[in-house]
DNA sequence: ACCTGAACACCGTTCAAGT
DNA sequence: ACCTGAACACCGTTCAAGT
């Protein structure tokens, strides 16, 4: 009666089901294989049903991206909480978590940064959830500044630098562009550390 | 007789024409609006003609991405040559050039890093041209190390860190994620400088 | 060698109609 | 309120046929 079988979707939360089917499809075979009709088929509804919940395909992708940011935020939060120590350790942990998430979900991460975030008014909740990530990083920065471990310039700007480094490292790794280094044993963890540490050193209090 | 009108395509270089039409389409209205039939229509050939030059749509996108890397490399080269001075100045110049290119061609840059680079064997020339970029950065690093301005660790790793920072900054800017800072006057140039300088400081000889 | 035109399968989206 | 089925326009790809 309340087993989570396909029948449930019809009275249950089809919206949520579509999002999760979409994430699975993207993870399995890339973003290009995300078609609305297939999502509906797998969810067990007609191809027109998704239009009850999403204005169009872009709206579904926006919702999927939003869920992606939520999942990433959870990983990051966990990484921070595991390190009880210095801001530097926390930043390192965040970098590893960010890169690890990208390696685990490359297609999803690509989709999250594929242009939809530009339309801020159209997808406000997508913007909100990405901003949550920004604030998470900034909190670490501010605490680090209070402890005197990070230099006293605008925390907004420092946050930009940190997110940029994490993101660039993650993307270039999943795009195979750092091959000369990532090929080696533990290459990915190593280069992530090199990238983060170089930046952290530059951010140090002086 | 040799005016560059549409007739030329039939005996001229249709391949090149398709690539440039593709770039224009992507630049104008985003990557999602790149359809093969429209490209063919604009080029003045039938919708089947592109298949003489490209195995499928992905192959055309790979060629477009390749051209994108070439264009980016030209900008970077120019940025480097303009600064005759220190490695630090050259790195700063490269960062600005990279970000500027991304802002000018956001959809093209997204396409260049949308997963095709993973299929190394399928698109070897795409991999080659992206590696050219890597080498360009590394050359600056090595010269900087010889002058004693950059610390003496593996130049491959330092290059990864630099490219990561440039790329992350560029992508987050075009994806509107650095809004808190880029909104301000000269915000983009300013944050690019903050990002690059933080890293450069961390890369310094000690 | 290079291009055309018809054909096929399939997708995004809409809409009248069903429960 | 939510879903279905038919319908429309359009795309990627293939292939026999044209020059």
Distance, in Å, from the CA atom of B47 to the CA atom of B42, rounded to the nearest integer, reads: 10
Average pLDDT rounded to a whole number, residues A94-105 = 98
From first CA to last CA, the distance across chain A in angstroms is: 65
- Please check the confidence at residue B29 and state whether its pLDDT lies above 70: yes
Nearest by CB to B199, which of A31, A115, A202? A202
User: Å from B49 (CA) to C6 (C1')?
Assistant: 15
Quick: pLDDT tens for B150-165: 999 999 999 999 999 9
Q: Which protein residue has its CA closest to C1' of C10?
A: A37
User: Å from A141 (CA) to C5 (C1')?
Assistant: 64
* Residue B85 pLDDT: 75
Give me the residues of A, 35-94, that contact B with CB < 8 A: none
Q: What is the DSSP string of A57-74?
A: HHHHHHHHHHHHHHHHHH
Helices (H) then strands (E): counts for chain B: 10, 0
From first CA to last CA, the distance across chain B in angstroms is: 65
Task: Put residue A53 in one of left, alpha, beta given phi > 0 → left and psi -120 to 50 → alpha.
Answer: alpha
Quick: pLDDT tens for A139-191: 999 999 999 999 999 999 999 999 999 999 999 999 999 999 999 999 999 99
C-beta separation of A101 from A109 below 8 A: yes
Helices (H), B83-123: 87-104, 106-112
* Residue A2 pLDDT: 30
Handedness of CA A123, A125, A129, A131 (dihedral sign): positive
* Residue A84 pLDDT: 75
Distance, in Å, from the CA atom of B179 to the CA atom of B196, rounded to the nearest integer, reads: 18
Instruction: Report the percentage of chain A scoring pLDDT > 90.
Output: 80
Count other Cβ atoms within 10 Å, centred on residue A72: 23
- Please check the confidence at residue A5 and state whether its pLDDT lies above 50: no
* B204, β-bridge pairs: B150
Interface contact flag, A158 B198, Cβ < 8 Å? yes
* Residue B1 pLDDT: 27
Average pLDDT score over chain B:
90
Q: CB pairs below 8 Å between A and B: how many?
A: 155
C-beta separation of B73 from B133 below 8 A: yes
* Residue A30 pLDDT: 86
Q: Name the nucleotide with the smallest C1'–CA separation from A40.
A: D3
C-beta separation of A58 from A118 below 8 A: no
Among B15, B25, B123, B23, which residue's Cα sits nearest to residue B64?
A: B23
* Residue A90 pLDDT: 95
Residue A38 confidence class, pLDDT cut points 50, 70, 90: very high
Quick: pLDDT tens for A128-138: 999 999 999 99
Helix (H, G, I), strand (E, B) or coil at B204: strand
- Please check the confidence at residue A3 and state whether its pLDDT lies above 60: no
Distance, in Å, from the CA atom of B106 to the CA atom of B99, rounded to the nearest integer, reads: 10
B124 touches A: beta carbon within 8 Å: no
User: Å from A120 (CA) to D6 (C1')?
Assistant: 36
Average pLDDT rounded to a whole number, residues B63-92 = 93
* Length of chain A as a residue count: 206
- Please check the confidence at residue B2 and state whether its pLDDT lies above 90: no
């Amino acid at each position: 009666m309340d087993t989570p079988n396909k029948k449930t979707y019809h009275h249950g939360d089809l919206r949520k089901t579509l999002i999760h089917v979409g994430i699975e499809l993207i993870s399995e075979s890339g973003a290009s294989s995300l078609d609305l009709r297939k999502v509906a088929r797998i969810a067990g509804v007609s191809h027109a049903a998704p239009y009850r919940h999403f204005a169009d395909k872009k709206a579904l992708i926006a919702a999927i991206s939003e869920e992606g940011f939520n999942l990433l935020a959870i990983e990051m939060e966990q990484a921070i909480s595991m390190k009880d120590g210095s801001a530097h350790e926390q930043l390192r942990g965040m970098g590893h978590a960010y890169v690890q998430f990208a390696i685990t979900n490359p297609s999803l991460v690509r989709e999250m940064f594929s242009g939809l975030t530009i339309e801020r008014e159209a997808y406000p909740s997508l913007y909100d959830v990405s901003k949550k990530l920004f604030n998470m990083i900034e909190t670490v920065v501010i605490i680090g500044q209070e402890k005197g471990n990070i230099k006293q310039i605008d925390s907004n700007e420092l946050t930009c630098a940190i997110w940029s480094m994490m993101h660039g490292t993650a993307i270039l790794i999943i795009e195979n562009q750092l091959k000369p280094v990532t090929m080696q044993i533990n290459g990915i963890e190593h280069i992530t550390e090199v990238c983060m540490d170089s930046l952290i050193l530059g951010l140090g209090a002086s």
